[in-house]
Structure formats: structure tokens, C-alpha cells
Amino acid sequence: MKQGWGLSLFVSVLAGLFFVPARASAQQSCESLTSLKIPNVTITSATSINAPPDFEVPSTGGRFGTPAGLKVSVPFCRVVAFSAPTSDSHISFEVWLPVAANWNGKYIGIGNPGFIGSISYAGLTREIARGSATASTDTGHSDVGATNEAPSGWAIGHPEKVADWGYRAVHETTSTAKQLVQAFYGKPAKLSFWSSCHEGGNQALTEAQKYPTDFDGIAAGDPAYYITHLQAVSEYITWVALKNGVKSPGYIPPSKYPVIHRAALDACDALDGVRDGVIEDPTRCHFDPETIRCPGNADSASCLTAPQIATAKLIYAGPKFSDGKQIYPGFDPGSELGWGLMAAGPEPLSISTGFFKSVIFGNPNWDFRTFDVDRDTRTAESKAGAALDSFDPNLKPFKDHGGKLLLYQSWDEAIIPPRSAIDYYESVLAAMGGQNQTHDFFRLFMVPGMGMCPGFGMGNDGTFDAMDVVQKWRETGIAPDKIINTHKVAGVVDKTHPVCAYPQVAAYNGTGDMNDAASFTCKNPKR
């Protein structure tokens, strides 16, 4: 017995010697990071940038690209690398690491708009100036000039590149960036955050669902959620408006959008107790475009003809499968000023049409007029859904990790029908046991009067710093009940308005300045 006990003790001690948790590694110089061995990753360069003098950031051009002349005035380590998780993958990315004395201990991931394949140097520049370690990827393909918002030749015949764009690129970048952080500073980041909008919002939800330990706090704005169905609704609205050309009876000229918008405001603006040019809660608005029908067979600039009314109703309703099941929500009353992106023509929306041409049918000559929403949505699901659709409502692994998820959606969004955010939020509640099981880590904010992400797009009526909100939530543990949206003119604040945690909405108190957030209270509306 004693001999056996002694042998067991010896084995236990020996095992302990070999399995002692690894201590934090020593700091490495910037240039030595090229020798770091990471599976599937090639580090092509690691360069110390000493600033001043200022480092001029590479320009990518394009509407969403990095403008020329942008400079960084703080010292940092610039790592250029790529990952090849498959034989047809080449995911380029850069990781920027502030010198240790300037590092705030955080890692920040940078999102991408649309299908664009370019590194966001503007995002890297912003975060390095704040003292954060940060990284950005081209999502696995390169677009010259960062102008290609729609998938093109890179997607045809390259399902692995589509998967890289769909979910792998951000995770590969994040995983490598964290290993570089560990090596450069000799310790991991205290916390990791992500805040981005549109496709960046979809990347956010994908990370929370597929890689729940990548980030500690995530702000997902106007997410391009459920890609195959989102592209289907976009193509559907384009098809509804333009299939018979801009001279067809059902085509609504853009000059009539303000007419429809004014009628919607007249019907629903005052539901929150104040007329301020904004529909606070479009879910309570039951505007019917029949109210502005032109008399008889007449047509004028101030009304809609019967065929135009039919088109408007289809845009509001959104597409359905042949069995009546909703594919994706349509747009709500109040969104009319943004319809031009999909419905004005004369050409169809390039993003959704390019998606079906390149990703689904592999045919650059595919004609959008042949679109069948039931058949082609099912085809998209079958061909690309596994790689692109992130709609898993089970966020328990992210919750267990201690993650906080801020989901916000602009009601005046012109590309992504806003109720899709409510659909996802409610699916999570249903899967995880209701609001009591989710309110401590997941909250939705529906933003009235704002279109296409804070500070960008059409019809914006304010902005807020989603990154700041989610960081404070994760660091303090205090969930936000409301966010103050701020509108400025020439840099001067002229209006503030509360955005309430869904399902609450802001209601006017009956007294006070309607341009002051203090004059509103968050309440549960009667829907």
C-alpha cells in the first residue's frame, strides 16, 4: 500500500511539473513578431512606426475607403499578415499595436461595409489614437479602390472565399491579433470589443453566435442580418419597382416620395404625444397609402395612382414565400425618403443583384427581371445559407462568457428593413426564456429618425457612440435603459432625444422643450 501510494504521489508530482499553467510570456520586440508561429498564418512584416514624424496611412479610395492624407501621430507596431485556412483562402489583415506605455489594455476589432474587400485604415487610425490594440481585415478578397460594394468575380466559383467573407475572416483576424497582443505585451488584452454597422453589424452577430469568446462587448448596428433573406428582400423591392421599367404605371417617381412621407407623418407623427417630424414607433403606425389616391384616373405630383399604391403596399409588406410565410419584413411608414436606393432606378440595386449574379447563380449576365422571390430565396438558402446566414438565437455561450450585446437599429434605414432587428431579438427571447433571462446581457434599441447607422446616410436625426455604451456596460455591469441621441448643426447641439430599450419607446411628458431628451419618458406602449 505504501509503495503504491508513493508511486501515485510521484506520478502526481511529475504530472504537476509538466502541466503547470503557462505564465504570461515575456514581451517581444515588434520586429521579432515575424517569427511567431500561428497555424495557417503568415506574418509578412512587423515594423515599428515611430511618430512623430507622422505616419501616412495607406489610401484605399472609394466611398467607404480610407481617404488620402490620413496620418497617425503616435508610435505603434504595424503587423501585416494573411491567413489561409483553406487552399482557396487568402485573408489579409493588419494588426496595429500601440507601444506599451500608451496601451489602454483593450483590443478593438474593426468592421467592414458591404462586400468590400479592403482593410479599414481609417478604423485602425481611429483606434490606435485612442490607445487600443486593433485589427482590420479585407475579409478574404481584394477590391481595387474599395468601391465594389457588391460581390463580383471573386465570388464566382469560389465558395471558400464566400465563406471567408461570411464568417471566417473576422475570427481568423481576431484570433491572430490576440496572439500578437500576448506576444508583444507579454499579457492578453483585459477586454475585447467590437462596434460596427450594416455588414459590420452582421459580423458582430456572427461573432456572438459562432465565436462567443472572441469579444467581451459587441455593438451590432443596423445588422445585415440573415444574408440570403436580406438580399432576397432587397432584390424583391428592386424587382417590384423596376421590373417593367421606369415608364411603367406602377413605377413611383422619386419626386413622390416626400408626398408619401408627409402623409405617413400626418397619420402617425403625433402618436408619441408630439409632432416633431419623426415617427417614434412605426409598429403602431397603420398608414394606408390609399389615403393619397389620385381621383379617378388622374395622375398628379401630389397623389398616387392605383398602380403606384399597389407598389407602395408591396414595399411596406415585404416578400413572402408561396405558403404565406414572411421571408423578411418590408419597410415601415416613415422610411419613404430612403426608397430611392432600391426603387428609383433606372438600374437595379447593385448589392442584391450582384449577390444573385455572383454568389447564387455564378452568372454575371443574370437578369433581375427573371427574379422569383420564392424560388430564388430557397436557392440562395440552399447554396449559401450555411456560410452566410447567422440567425442562431442561442446566445447562451456568449452570455456565459460574460459578453454584452448591444443591438441597435435605425427606423429610417434605407437598405435593411428595421423590423428584422426586432425579429432576431424576439427569437433570442423565445429561445432563452424571455426578457428576464436576457436583459442583463442583450438589449435592443430601435432608433427613431435615424437612417443607415449613426452619423451616416439619409434622414439622420442624431448620433451616439455605440462603442462607448457597450464598453461602459461591460466594464460596470450596469445595463443601459436608454441612450441619448444627439443632433448637431455646425457642431452645436440643437436636439437630444432618448432611445429606449425595446419594447419601451419615448413618450412626451406633456410639458417642456420637445427638443430636450428630459421632456420624454421611456414607457411600454400599447401595440
pLDDT digits (tens, 9 = 90+) for 241-266: 999 999 999 999 999 999 999 999 99
- Which helix (H) or strand (E) element contains residue 505? strand 505-508
What confidence score (pLDDT) does residue 457 get?
36
Number of H helices, E strands in the chain: 14, 15
Report pLDDT for 414.
84
In this structure, the number of other CB atoms found within 10 A of the CB of residue 501 comes to: 19
- The answer to whether residues 82 and 143 belong to one domain is yes
Q: Are 485 and 493 in contact (CB under 8 A)?
A: no
Phi and psi based region of residue 226 (left: phi greater than 0; alpha: psi -120 to 50; beta: remaining): left
Half-sphere exposure of 495 (CA within 13 A, CB side): 16
Q: What is the mean pLDDT of the chain?
A: 91
Same domain, 95 and 176: yes
- For residues 105 and 190, state if they share a domain: yes
pLDDT classification of 99: cutoffs 50, 70, 90: very high
Q: Within a domain: residue 14?
A: no
Rounded CA-CA distance 287/444 in Å is: 25
Among candidate residues 323, 354, 388, the one where a domain is terminated: 388
d(CA 24, CA 18): 16
Cell triple for 175: 484570433
Name the band, by pLDDT with cuts 50, 70 and 90, for residue 6: very low
Residue 456 in any domain: the answer is: no
Lowest-confidence region among 9-23, 212-226, 383-397, 466-480: 9-23
**Pairing of the two strands 217-221 and 404-410:** parallel
- Of 402, 30, 395, nearest to 191 by C-alpha is 402
Residue 393's closest CA among 437, 418, 425?
A: 425
Task: Give the residue, 376 or 66, on which the prediction is more confident.
Answer: 376
Residue with cell 384616373: 297
Residue 16 has pLDDT above 80, yes or no: no
Determine the distance from the C-alpha atom of residue 410 to the mean position of all C-alpha atoms in its chain, rounded to a whole number. 11
- Residues 147 and 174 grouped into a single domain: yes
pLDDT tens by residue, 292-314? 999 988 999 999 999 999 999 99
Given this model, what pLDDT does residue 14 score?
A: 39
Domain boundary among 365, 388, 411: 388
| CATH code (residue 427) | 3.40.50.1820
Domain that holds residue 361: 229-388
Percent helix, strand, coil in the chain, to 5, is: 40, 20, 45
